[in-house]
Structure 1
Amino acid sequence: MTSTTNGMAGGGPTNTWGPTFDPYDNTPELIPLRTAAQAGHWPGVRDFFAGLDSVDELASASSLLADIPGVESLLERAVAAESPGDPLPRTLLAERYVYIGWDIRSGARAQDVSRDQFTQFHDWLRRAEQLLIEICAEHPSYAPAWTARLMTARGLQLGQAEARRRYDRLSAHHPHHYRAQVQLLQQLCPKWSGSWEAAHGFARECATAAPDGSHSGALVALAHIERWLDLDGGEDAAYMRGLPVRDDLRNAAQVSVLHPAHRPDWNSIGAHNAFAFAFSLGNHWEYAAPHFAFLGDRASESPWHYIPDKKSAFLKSRKAALESRGGGHR
């Protein structure tokens, strides 16, 4: 039996067997990209990217393509076959190299990563960086390449100033590029030699500067989630339940994905999940509810993967949130 919750435009269906964390289930428009890539059909991949309408769509698609195992073989052939001046295949290949490197490194803290893992990680990032330096010199406004260079800057530990320089180069052409903002936010956290003052300050700066209805407000939620991750048990729950955090999240949601000017797109699912997760951590169910109403069953791997049983966590949180406003599932 299926019930539907549509608390706002773009609301997804809900079902009895739980959420899906598959981005292709959540955004079926991306399936042709995966199909072409897995078939090794470069013209299909190229045509898919040619049909995209925005820099944000290009960023979403390039990220998903980079996460497809073995796609580097297709992209290496494409780089060899395409016009030397075309930035697309080289950028896609560089981002795939970045993903291979990060997969080897894993998401563990630095002290838990072996020397051999670090060596391989840095080797892949340097291969990516070589391609990206060339692309950015030829196409200084090409957002996907600068975004990928934020990832290589972080992984190669080039420092806060260099990461910010790269972001500033990108933002001069694309001032509210959400995926680039998410990458720099990571760099600004203490785990990458930043500070909480810098991370929260950047998130609020982005939320304030962006047009009403943009995704940038979700950075405020992501910053608080990162802070929660860094706290010890007991402190983390108290932090997220605090009224200052609740109000910060609430204000950010109101100017971004809950603003009347917001137009749902491929980034909306991730942004709503960030808010839903953050409000749920603090038991602020009333404020989590509109985000779950939008999502239905469309969960995102991040940030729910921070909970051991992400599916159960999503379901329990959604149930509590929707019941808080009289919208529980039958």
Structure 2
Amino acid sequence: MPRLPGPLGLPRMLRHFAATGAGLPADDEVEFDAPDPRVREACEAVRQGRFEPAERLLARTRESGSWALRGEAAAELAGTLLESPGRLEDWWARRPADPDVALVRAEAAVDRAWAVRTGARASEVSAEQFAGFRALLEDAVPVLEEAVALNQGDPTPWVVVLAHDTGSRASREVFEDHLASALALDPHNWAAHTRAVQYLAAKWYGSHEEMFAFAERAAAASPAGHRLRGLPVVALSELALDARLDGDAATKYGPLARERVDRAIDGARALSAARPAGDRHLAAVRNHLAWTMIRDGRPAADTLDVFRAIGRHATAYPWAYLGGAAAFLEFRTGVRAKVAAETPFFGGAVRPPAPGAAETDAGGARRELALVPATVRQVTEAVALTGVTYRMAPLARTGITLVEPAPSQEAAGGRWRSGLRRSLLGEGDLVRLARSFTAGEPWPVLVVSRVADRYGLSLVRARTLVTSHFWDGPDGIPSHDEADAVAAALVAAFPKGDRKRVTAALRAPGRDRGPLDAVLAALRLPALPETYGEGYEILADLPEARLVARRGLGSALRSSLSEDPADPKSELPPLGL
């Protein structure tokens, strides 16, 4: 991870850190290996026992030759079906000799074996795990043969065979024959090439030099702009994970000359710069590129541009080798801190995102609202010192005030103290901000969120996140006890609520807004505005909404001390415009 700044860099980091978040999604908006929406929809239908969407999708990919989407769909559907033992064989019994189901069966057979082995290093895998792994791989052979036979002209089952070859210690001759079969049908198949990079890695059956040379040849033979042009950086990422290679530039890449390393990184950077930010198709290249640039000591500002291009499309690898999802977020934060610390305190500015980057200003990345059982005046006094501009709207005859951050109403740039506050309090995350403005207050705050396509809620009280819940669809239904524990905390904060109804709503399988609305109704809380979840800063359209602008410490204290509680006008929040 990039080194955090020393004492001299700390003031610069505090001043500029917020600016480094431009163009980056919030941490909880990042998704790892997020499937294509069409694949996600098919998987959710399968979880509900409906196979028709999956059958239609797989048939379309086979007929149109959409091999990348076909491979992704087969892999995701296999993983989904492995969660429900017996369902895949029921599907096969209903559609025997179907090429699409045969492909999913082959993927599941190999995935089942690798799940037993796990992704740990060989030295960390037990003898029992290895025995189970090899037995399941042997069982998978006839399933693979059937999938290949039923899918003539399709490279996708051959890609699954390559994964089997790596686990079964297939000879070089056998592996190369299978690779040739895949590439004869699709010469620039990304999945087949990445399987080969793994097989040729030093940790499996090749060497750093052999793996990297293969990637270089594949990149050179691919069309301009094709993602295979970034394959050398995937191989370099694998090499950079070798702890034995370290030291100065002459030794840390083992057999690779410096110019080959530079060519791999610079080629991937050029490929990334030519494609839109957030492009799922290039996500794997960009994630490996970010790691290799960090490992190579490239300028933090350049690496930050790559994280902006990644957007919310993080990939499992290479981060799984480094600690998983937390590693991606920690490295990204480390790069941001380094950029901020290297930016001059006076007269310096963080380089803005490139045109086309999905810019997300502080507080605008999530669709969030807070429901507060307090008056607008009470909430105004509580939020006055948080250093963030808020918009509030009282709900008539309910005793509830709706609150949202209003970053669009803050002056561009601002004083460095604004950056300091955002660095310490969080960049507009309403849950974090609620932890600040509930200090010493008797009332709770219920934050309702939409992050990407997931709805959720979080209960904050007395600076503490008491509980939270997100609806993850049919595959993420909590147990009754887990849901009841969340319901108990919610009803303790809102005593008029019906605990049984809240528990039932928390266990609803949907990912739309319905279960969230049901929880609010069960808690006897008012319904959200109809436009909630569809846009940002939705309170701006309400005539009764008031803006509470960010204020400095002195002005906030003076305002608070000068207001007369007996004056009915003091119930209105001071406007900051």
Counterpart of 2:95 in structure 1 is 82
Report the CA distance between 1:321 and its aligned residue: 6.4
Q: For 1:144, which of 156, 164, 169 is the aligned residue? A: 156
Counterpart of 2:58 in structure 1 is 49
Q: CA RMSD in A?
A: 3.2
Q: Does 1:91 align with 2:106?
A: no
SS for the counterpart of 2:185 is coil
Post-superposition CA distance 1:93-149 (Å, at most 9, x none)? 111121121111012222332221112112222232211112323434222210000
Post-superposition CA distance 1:232-267 (Å, at most 9, x none)? 374499736x9536512234315644446x898643
Q: Decide whether the 8 Å contact of 2:277 with 2:309 is kept in 1.
A: no
Q: Does 1:121 align with 2:121?
A: no
Q: For 1:156, which of 163, 168, 183 is the aligned residue? A: 168
TM-score by length of 1: 0.84
Report the CA distance between 1:291 and its aligned residue: 2.4
Q: Does 1:20 align with 2:35?
A: no
Report the CA distance between 1:208 and its aligned residue: 0.7
Closer/same/farther in 2, CA of residues 236 and 303 from structure 1, 3 Å limit = farther
Tell me, in whole angstroms, the C-alpha distance in 2 between the residues paired with 1:287 and 1:244: 19
Q: Decide whether the 8 Å contact of 1:19 with 1:315 is kept in 2.
A: no
Post-superposition CA distance 1:47-73 (Å, at most 9, x none)? 232344611111122222233342553
Counterpart of 2:335 in structure 1 is 317
Q: For 1:297, which of 312, 327, 330 is the aligned residue? A: 312
Consecutive unaligned residues of structure 1, counting only runs of 5 or more, are: 6-12
One-letter amino acid of the counterpart of residue 23, structure 1: D
Report the CA distance between 1:320 and its aligned residue: 4.5
Larger RCO, structures 1/2 (Cα 8 Å, 6+ apart): 1
Q: Does 1:40 align with 2:49?
A: yes
The count of corresponding residues between Structure 1 and Structure 2 is 319
Q: Decide whether the 8 Å contact of 1:66 with 1:92 is kept in 2.
A: yes
Counterpart of 1:244 in structure 2 is 259
Report the CA distance between 1:211 and its aligned residue: 0.7
Counterpart of 1:10 in structure 2 is none
Closer/same/farther in 2, CA of residues 319 and 29 from structure 1, 3 Å limit = farther
One-letter amino acid of the counterpart of residue 253, structure 1: A
Q: Does 1:196 align with 2:216?
A: no
Give 1 or 2: higher helix fraction. Answer: 1
Tell me, in whole angstroms, the C-alpha distance in 2 between the residues paired with 1:114 and 1:76: 29
Q: Does 1:279 align with 2:289?
A: no
Report the CA distance between 1:297 and its aligned residue: 3.0
Higher deviation after alignment, 274-283 or 69-78: 69-78
SS for the counterpart of 1:230 is coil
Query: Could you say which structure has the larger radius of gyration?
Result: 2
Post-superposition CA distance 1:276-304 (Å, at most 9, x none)? 22112222135434422222233222111
Counterpart of 1:327 in structure 2 is 352
Q: Does 1:106 align with 2:131?
A: no
Report the CA distance between 1:190 and its aligned residue: 1.7
Consecutive unaligned residues of structure 2, counting only runs of 5 or more, are: 1-17, 344-349, 354-360, 362-418, 420-577
Tell me, in whole angstroms, the C-alpha distance in 2 between the residues paired with 1:299 and 1:144: 24
Report the CA distance between 1:29 and its aligned residue: 4.2
One-letter amino acid of the counterpart of residue 33, structure 2: P
Closer/same/farther in 2, CA of residues 274 and 161 from structure 1, 3 Å limit = same
One-letter amino acid of the counterpart of residue 264, structure 2: L
TM-score by length of 2: 0.50
One-letter amino acid of the counterpart of residue 129, structure 2: Q
SS for the counterpart of 1:284 is coil
Closer/same/farther in 2, CA of residues 62 and 317 from structure 1, 3 Å limit = farther
Closer/same/farther in 2, CA of residues 91 and 173 from structure 1, 3 Å limit = same
Tell me, in whole angstroms, the C-alpha distance in 2 between the residues paired with 1:258 and 1:126: 44
Closer/same/farther in 2, CA of residues 233 and 253 from structure 1, 3 Å limit = closer
Q: Decide whether the 8 Å contact of 2:233 with 2:265 is kept in 1.
A: no
Report the CA distance between 1:19 and its aligned residue: 5.4
Closer/same/farther in 2, CA of residues 279 and 327 from structure 1, 3 Å limit = same
Counterpart of 1:70 in structure 2 is 83
Tell me, in whole angstroms, the C-alpha distance in 1 between the residues paired with 2:170 and 2:85: 25
Give 1 or 2: higher strand fraction. Answer: 2
Tell me, in whole angstroms, the C-alpha distance in 1 between the residues paired with 2:212 and 2:145: 30
Higher deviation after alignment, 228-237 or 269-278: 228-237
SS for the counterpart of 2:25 is strand
Q: Decide whether the 8 Å contact of 1:200 with 1:220 is kept in 2.
A: yes
Tell me, in whole angstroms, the C-alpha distance in 2 between the residues paired with 1:188 and 1:99: 20
Q: Decide whether the 8 Å contact of 1:37 with 1:71 is kept in 2.
A: no
Q: Decide whether the 8 Å contact of 1:299 with 1:314 is kept in 2.
A: no
SS for the counterpart of 1:141 is coil
One-letter amino acid of the counterpart of residue 226, structure 1: E
Q: Decide whether the 8 Å contact of 1:149 with 1:166 is kept in 2.
A: yes
Tell me, in whole angstroms, the C-alpha distance in 2 between the residues paired with 1:318 and 1:216: 29
One-letter amino acid of the counterpart of residue 156, structure 1: S
